[in-house]
Each structure stands twice: as structure tokens, then as C-alpha cells.
Chains A and B, each alone.
Chain A
Amino acid sequence: MLRSAWRSLLHHKLRLILSGVAIVLGVGFVVGTLIFTDTLNTTFTNLFADTSSDVVVTPAQDSGGRAFAGTVPTMPGSTLDDVRAVQGVAAAGGQVLVDGVSVVDQAGEVLGTPGAPQFGSNWSDDERLTPFRLVEGRGPSAPNEVALDSVSAEKSGYSVGDTVRLVTPTGPLSVTLAGVFRYGTSGNLAGATIAAFSTDFAQELLLGGEDAYTEIDVVASESVTQDALAAAVRAVVGDGVTVRTGQEAADDATAQITEGLAFVNIFLLVFAGIALFVGTFIILNTFSMLVAQRSRELALLRALGATRGQLVRSLILESAVLGLVGAVLGIAVGVGVAFGLEGLFGALGADIPTEGLVVLPRTIVVGVAIGVLVTVIAALSPAIRASRIPPMAALRDDVALPTRSLRLRAVLGTLLLAGGLAAMTAGAASGGGSGSQLVGLGVVGALVGAIVVSPAIAGPLVRVLGFAFPRLFGTVGSLAVQNAERQPRRTAATASALMIGLALVSALTIFATSAKASITEVIDRVIGAEFLVSSGAQRPFPEQVASDLAATEGVAAVAGVKLVPVQVADTGTLLVAADPGALGRMITLPFVAGSLADVGAGGVAVDTQTAADQGIAAGDPVSVQLPTGATLEYRVTALYEPAGAYSGYVVDRASLAEADVAVGDSFVYVLAAEGADLGQLQSDLEAGLADYPTVQVQSQAEFKAQITSSVDQILLVMVMLLSLAILIAILGIVNTLVLSVVERTREIGMLRAVGALRRQIRSMVVLEALVIAVFGAVVGLGLGVWFAVSLQRTLVDQGIEVLEIPWAGLAFFLVLAGVVGVLAALWPAFRAGRLNVLEAISTE
């Protein structure tokens, strides 16, 4: 019995390869995703795990993840002195680490990945207290000196002794490169840059000359534990600071990274899940067909005395062996997929630092388990059905596997699908967090339901979709449609991969289009200023920029906007600080009470949503806790409807100056004078900003384009990942068709004998693929539209107010699906056309 299983496995090499390919791809994608996410996690964890202090002291105030100069919370230098005096402290150092020093390379370009931090720091010679390791030159000691991290030094081409151009929170600056250091063990910063100065100079540049630190690192004397030291430190520093052991700080950092990467991880694993799901379908399909094709052989074995158990066991064994081989190859493919993902993210500007791919034992185990389990499970049902073939069937010509009725599937699938769609609609109606959860649940339900029900609808739908085939392609066309509908399970399973892929791709596309339309609509509605000046990542720049711009000829007015991370009623938010009068000329917000002009010195304008959430109304007091720890009191003087990203608390910038918050502008709006030549004005504005390479002037149209293009980029990544699922779908179609051709060898031979040309046979196969692909696409696109509409409705409050369905894009996907189907059919069709008529007729 075993020998017969083995023989049959080897005998049908083509079938073996095809089902093997499905397993390899499914496992490969999952393993690749795991390797990639592990690599990502490990790299980022290593990035911050290089410091080895025993106790870490930080300001209690949360910076909200924005360590920008002017708003970064600090501790006074006296705290460092206090800590140094604590018993058991071997060494303690104050760290200044602030995002806000941009390095300009020799070509005048700002270094680093846009959006990644551009740190300015202080230099410490004590290697116990810093992750910086000098590799060239010496540490900066005088005010006009800087040390750069090795990656920045290399990329900018600066060498020790050169003059380096920087842009600091106080303005542009040229300093001498004293040394180059490596950050941690790898030197990689994932696109961030670090410029280090002497402590005094760092404080002058970044902390307004205050003797303060953003972090204090402590090394314990021998025999003092981290916990004991932390307790001792805590006792002297008092409130206003957080004291953690080195271990806690490292754990927090890791947790933060994991949280930060959670989105990427989940995102990729969802895709891996889809790939696996789709892969499982292909394996299932392939096995069903393999067993069906061998039914006579199996019946013969039964007739010769094999028990049903023996038959099932031998088929299971066969699938386990196949699954194992596929899994091993799949793991190898997975490494390639991980490389590909890294390249993909790299190409999109996410510079991912890697010290080689991380292949955990868990990944291997998961890969093998998935390969073997999925294959065995896929083989189980056809194996059991095969074992039910009566031995007598061996003696008949046309053996068919006993099939189950589709009624249960139809009922179950319809219920799931309808439930899913209803959940989505209900979620969309209720909106908010619970609404989006309901929508998410509905999407899963509807997808699963569609997959379950699809064999039941495949027949009728294929007939509808292929209605024109007989007229267009004659008998070949009707044969193709009939072939597609004669095995509805197979057609449905083959199409399901494409269906899932297209449902998600189209939903994402519709959603992205709606998001872009919504953003554009808000910008059109709100922004009246012709130009918007900003630096990357909302990094503040000196107020001097706004003054320079205001002085440019052709400018009617400017309005600088500061963003300050604050706490209002224990909720972190960004306070918008501007000259209300000037801002009022730049943007038009839909006010329901008062106006920007009414904000005044002690007033605040709040959007109605926030007001409702906080339970405040016009005239109510609002206390705002600043990053310095100080509190400012305001009174609500105006209320406006939130418009997209334009929401939150708006105050007069003068109130900040009073509170000694010296933060730069994150944006400057520029209003052109009546009749000014805008093109000329833009180049004049740009020319005036030559000293500030980090700051860019964008026209309103460019600003819109930038935002929409970033939406497009996210969409592109998702679609690229999904196209892997679609690739698997193509292979699934190839698989099904090749096996169908094998299965119908005799029939094809007969058609050829009675006069079908090779070309006609090829068309028949291609048309069958076309109708299957279009079937998958139509169902998938339908679901996708429903998903996207529900999602958009759910997120109206989050600013996705406009629903825009890109019909042309969806039509393109439909055509693309057809093309995919046709491409997938080429090889099987070629094989079918080449079948030798006589051999086909005499095939056993």
C-alpha cells in the first residue's frame, strides 16, 4: 500500500510539481513575512538596546513623541548634581537629545529619511553613559565643533576637519567636523541622523541656553543592584521626574518599538494570512483534482482488497510527504520573499537597517507545520471521498468522485455573507470605534461567506458572464463556459484567490481615493493662503523664516503656526498657536460661535467635536499643561466645526511667549498680495529661504499633491503586497487549468479528431480561464465596493467625508483580472493544443 502511494506520487510528475508549487508559495509567503517582521523587530530593538546604564532618569512630563526643541521636557542641571551625590552611583551623565538639528550635505540637501528624527545631542567621553563610539577624530569640545554619526558622515561626504552646514532651531550654522562616531554596535539609525556637540553648546542650541538635560543616565557601583540604586535616586530627585532601572527602560523601549511596529507586523501578517488562505485553496483544489483523476486507480486498489482505511492512510501519507518537501522549499522561498519585502520598503524610502535576516527557529517550525498540516487537511476531504469510491468503479469508464450537495454550502455561505454585509452596514451607520470593529468583523464574515457560497453561485454566474461567448467565439466559446460551470467547486476555488485579492485591492483603492478627495475638499474649503511653508515632519523652524517671508515683495501677510504638545484634562493633544487675526486671513473655519478674531489674548477656539468630548461650552475655562510643566488658563471664546485635520485648540501665540515657551513655527501660511504673479512670488519666496534647506515653500496645489501622493504611496505598498496574493491566484489558475487539461485529455483528443483546430482548443482553454477570472473579479469587486463604502461611512468623523468611487480604476481591475486569467491560461492552452490526437484518445 505504501509502495503504491509512493509510486503514484512519483509517477505523475506534473501534478506533483503543480501541487508542490502551491505549497511552496503559501509557505514561502508566510515564512517570508515572519522573517521580515522578526528582522524589523530585532533591528529596531537592537537600535535602542545599546545603552547599558543601570538607572535612567527622565522628565515625568510626556513629550508626546515630539522631542522638538522648545517643547521637549527637560530636567534642570541640579538634578544631575543630586543624582551624582547619591550613594552607589559610580557615574552619572546628563543627556541632551532633541530633534531639530538637520545636517546639510555638500550638495545642499538635508540628510536622512524625511520624517525620521534629526537629532542634536551632547557629547560624552564616558562610554558607560553613551551609545556613541568614536571612530574618527575626537569628540566635540568647543562651541564651533560637531561630531556626526558614521552613516551621516559617509552619506554627506564630510571628513574630519571639514566645515559642516547645519540648520538648528536657532537658525543655520556652520561648524567644524571634529569627529565621527558610530551609534551602538551597528552604527545604523534607520534613517535618523545625529549631530553631537559639547554639552554647553548643545544646551545653547537646543535648550535655549538653559543648564538642563532631557535624560540622566546612571551607572551603579559594583555590588549595587539596579533596583536599590533606582530607589536611592528616586529618594533624592523627588517629583517631576521618572526614575527607571536600566532594565525597565530597555523593556519600555522594546515595548514602544513593538507597539510602533505592531501596525507593520499586523499588516504583513494579514497579508501572509491571505496568502496562506489562498495557498490552502490551491492545495485543496489540486488535491481534489489529483484524487479525482486517480479514482479509477484507487477503485482498482479497493477491488484488489485494500481497505478504506488503507486508502485514506496512503493518501494522507502522500500528502504529508508532499507537504514536507513543499515546506522545506517554501522556507527557502520565504528568505527570498523577505529580501523582496526589504527591497520594496527600501525602494519606498523606508531605510531599513539590517544586520542580516533573522530566521528564528519558530519561523522554521511554523513553516513546516503549515506546509504539512495544510496539505494534509487539504488532502483529507478528497481522500475520504475517494475511499468511498465503490470497487466496482474500477471497471467502469467514467469514474466520478461522489460529490456532496452544495445546498448546505449555499445556505451557510449566504447567511455568513448576508450577516457580514449587514454588520458592515450597521457598523457604518453607528460609526466610531465600535462601528469600525463591526465593519472589520463584517469584512471577514462577508469574505468567508463569499468563499463558502461561491461554488453554489459559480455555475449560474459563469453562465451569465459568459453569455456572449457562444455568439462571439462559437462552439469553442460555449464549450469553454460549460467547462467552467461543470465543476463549480473547482471554478469557485480557483476564482476565490482572485476574488479575495481584488476585494481588498479595490476596497483599498476606493478608500484611498475617497481619502484623497476628502483631504482635497478640506484644503479647498479651509485654506485661503496661496502658499504653505513647512519643514519635514512638522519640525519647528525659527520665527525668522516668517519675518523673512513677510518682507518678500508681493506678500500681503504671513501667519506662523506653532504646534505644542500639551495636556488638556489629562488628554495629550497639539495646541495650535498663531496670531489669530493673521491666521483668520489664511484659513476659513466654519465657526458656530465667535471667530478667530475673537480668540484674543486669553481665549481659545475649540472645535465642536472636542468641546462635546470634553463637555465644554463657550465661556468655559480650559487649562492647558505645557511641556515645561507650567499651566496656562484660557477661556473658550469661539467654537468651530472640525474640518478634516483642522480641529483642536487654537490660541494666541503671544500667550506662549508669556509662558516662556520658545518653540519655532511648524507652518507658515503666506497670503499673496492682490495681483501678485504667483510663479514669480514662489521663486522669490524660495530664494529667500536659501539658508534654510529644511524649509520648503509649497503652493496650495503642491501641498495637496504632496498629501495625496503620500496616500498613494501607502496604497502602492498595500497593492504591491496584495499582488503577491494575486500572483498566487494566477498560479492557482494555471494549476487548475493544467489539471483540467490532463483530466480532459480524451475529450480534447476527441474534439481534435472530429475537427477542432489547435487554435480552437487553445481558445477554449483560454476562454475558460477568462470566464473564471472574471467571475472571481466581479464578486471580488462587488465585495470591495461594499467594504470601502462601509469603511468610508464609518470614518466620516475622522475626516473621510467624501465617498469617491474610481469607476475607471475598478473597470481597469476587471480588465486586469481578465488579462491575468488569459496569461495564466497560455501555458495550459499551449499544452492542450499540442496534445497528440491519438494518444489523447487512447489515454487510460
Chain B
Amino acid sequence: MSTAPLSVPSDEAGPAARAVGLTKVYGEGDTAVTALDAVSVEFDRGRFTAIMGPSGSGKSTLMHVCAGLDSVTSGKVYIGDVDLTTLKDNDLTRLRRDAVGFVFQAFNLVPTLSALENITLPMDIAGRPVDQEWVDAVIDTIGLRDRLRNRPSQLSGGQQQRVAAARALASRPQIVFADEPTGNLDSRAGAEVLSFLRRSVDEFGQTIVMVTHDPTAASYADHVLFLADGLIVDTMEDPTPDRVLDRMKGFDGKGRRS
């Protein structure tokens, strides 16, 4: 194997993704819910950002909108230089396929495909050749080389999430979004997934945005955004579990703005 530096594309300048005045309203009239209220945020390249906040604060919504999975009510969302809000479904899908990686809380894998096939799925769908060297590096990092032939149902939950994370990275996306990737895992399995994400940032320069409720998980990030009622209410650099926990407690009392 060559020793050429393996990393995600970072030749472009500026943040990997950003949102400007992003507003997302669900429903209409009396039942309208403002999930995001004019949020502006930048996700810098090669950084690991955690998003935290109480339930219903808009974390998932922010992630979905930034990843091009959902439409915006107003505002702009960019992946690199591309404005997602102007794209039609097919272009948006292609952009997701080529520039964005995902890890969901569960059901990440196609049950009929082997672990390896799941990892290369985005490239296969695109009909693009697989960058074997890169994929090998990713697989070595998740440490599941001996389970590649297995179907998801033959893997533990933690292994499945690591496969999902590997898939998110395999296509060398500009940015990876993960929504509570460790939500269903015990602390050990969670730690395996998180350290893999951390390593991908450190070793490959991957940009990662992760939603989590867990202060320990957040402590793997470089940087934490705190969301409450659709607004970014605070940020924290170099988080530790204790500091994050402290900050979270602050929300409990005055969670709701009214």
C-alpha cells in the first residue's frame, strides 16, 4: 500500500457547509412549529462539530436541512459553494451521493447487502469506480476487515454503526452528518464508533457534524453548538464531558423561551 497522504478533498477554500438565516417552519397557521429560527452557522473543514440541545430544539432539523434531506422555509444552505435551496431533487440527490455522508441512529444498512457492499453503496449507485486504497484505509480504521462478507443482521449494533460510518466516509464526502449515531449503543460500542469518527477527522481531515444527547460523545468533538428552541444559544471549544454536562444543566431550568 502506498503511503501517499489519504485525505478528503480540501482544495476548496471556505467552510465545508454553512447555513445563512436558516428558518424551518413545520405546518401552517395555528399548528405551525418553528423548528429553526433564522439560524446562521458554518461548519469548518476538518473539524468535528457536535450539536447538542434539549429534545425538540431543532438539532435533527438543522442537520437534515444542511444535508439536503429537507427543504428550507427561508434562508440559504451551502455545501461547499453549492446553494442547496436552488437544486432540484435529482441534483440534490447527486450532491448527497457525492458530497455528503450520513450516519443515522439506526437502520443505516441495506439488509440484503454485505458489510462491504454497504460501505461502497454510494459509489455503486453512482456507477463510480471505488477508490480501493481509500476504502481499505477506512476499513482498517473501523477494524472490521474480517466481517466484511457478513450481512448487517450478523453484526452487532456497534459493528453496524461502524459500517455505517465507514460508508459515510467511503465516498470521500466533503462533510459527514451523524444524527445520534451512538444513541442505540452501549458506552463501549459507542466509544468504538466515536473514536472512529475522531480518527477520521484527525487522520483524513474529514469534516463531521454530529447530533448527540450524550456529553461524553460530545467531548469527542472539537467544538459544540448548543441549540434551544430553534436558535443557537451557545458554543463551546474543546469540550470535556463535565463542561458539557454543566452547560446542559443550564437548559433544564429555562429550556423554553416564551
Contact = CB atoms under 8 A, between A and B. Distances in A.
B247 interface: no
B97 A755 contact: yes
Interface stretch (B12-20, B32-40, B86-94, B131-139): B86-94
A757 B93 contact: yes
Contacts of B122: 754-755
- Place the interface of chain A in its size category: 20 to 34
Contacts of A838: 64, 69-70
A678 interface: no
Nearest to A758: B89
Contact of B112 (A482, A755, A760, A837): A482
A26 to B, nearest CB: 31
Contact of A750 (B70, B110, B124): B110
A292 to B, nearest CB: 14
B198 interface: no
B88 to A, nearest CB: 11
A582 to B, nearest CB: 76
B107 A397 contact: yes
Contacts of B97: 754-756
Contacts of A486: 111-112
A482 B93 contact: no
Nearest to B89: A758
B154 interface: no
B97 to A, nearest CB: 2
A751 B121 CA distance: 9
A777 B54 CA distance: 57
A837 B96 CA distance: 12
B125 A753 contact: no
B104 interface: yes
Contact of B102 (A474, A746, A754, A758): A754
Interface residues of B, number: 29
A747 interface: yes
A746 B90 contact: no
A756 B111 contact: no
Contacts of B112: 479, 482-483, 486
Contacts of B167: 754
Q: Is the interface of A mostly helix, strand, loop or mixed?
A: helix
B224 to A, nearest CB: 24
A397 B161 CA distance: 14
A760 B125 CA distance: 8
Contacts of A490: none
A755 B98 contact: yes
B153 to A, nearest CB: 7
A523 B240 CA distance: 98
Interface in B143-195: 153, 167, 184
B35 to A, nearest CB: 12
A476 B121 CA distance: 10
A756 B107 contact: no
Contacts of A482: 112-113
A746 B152 CA distance: 15
A747 B107 contact: yes
Contacts of B94: 755, 757
Contacts of A752: 93
Which of B70, B94, B111, B167 has the largest count of A CB atoms less than 10 A from its CB? B111
Given A753-B96, A754-B167, A758-B93, A474 B110 contact: no
B104 A750 contact: yes
Contacts of A751: 110, 121, 125
Interface string A753-773: 111111110000000000000
Given A747-B111, A756-B93, A475 B104 contact: no
B41 interface: no
Contacts of B129: none
A758 B90 contact: yes
B151 to A, nearest CB: 10
A755 B93 contact: yes
A662 B111 CA distance: 84
Contact of B69 (A475, A746, A753, A759): A753
A479 B125 CA distance: 10
B127 interface: yes
Nearest to B111: A747
B4 interface: no
Contacts of A757: 90, 93-94
Interface string B103-117: 010111111110000
A841 interface: yes
A475 B121 CA distance: 8
Nearest to B96: A755
A750 B108 contact: yes
Given A755-B125, A758-B93, A746 B107 contact: yes
Contacts of A398: 111, 153
B1 interface: no
Which of B69, B94, B106, B109 has the largest count of A CB atoms less than 10 A from its CB? B69
Given A755-B122, A755-B126, A838-B70, 7 more contacts: A482-B112, A753-B102, A755-B125, A760-B125, A838-B64, A838-B69, A841-B104
21 contacts: A398-B111, A398-B153, A474-B124, A479-B110, A479-B113, A482-B112, A746-B107, A747-B107, A750-B108, A750-B109, A751-B125, A753-B96, A753-B104, A754-B167, A755-B97, A755-B122, A756-B93, A756-B97, A757-B93, A758-B93, A841-B107
Q: Which 3 A-B pairs have the closest CB atoms?
A: A755-B97, A475-B124, A482-B112
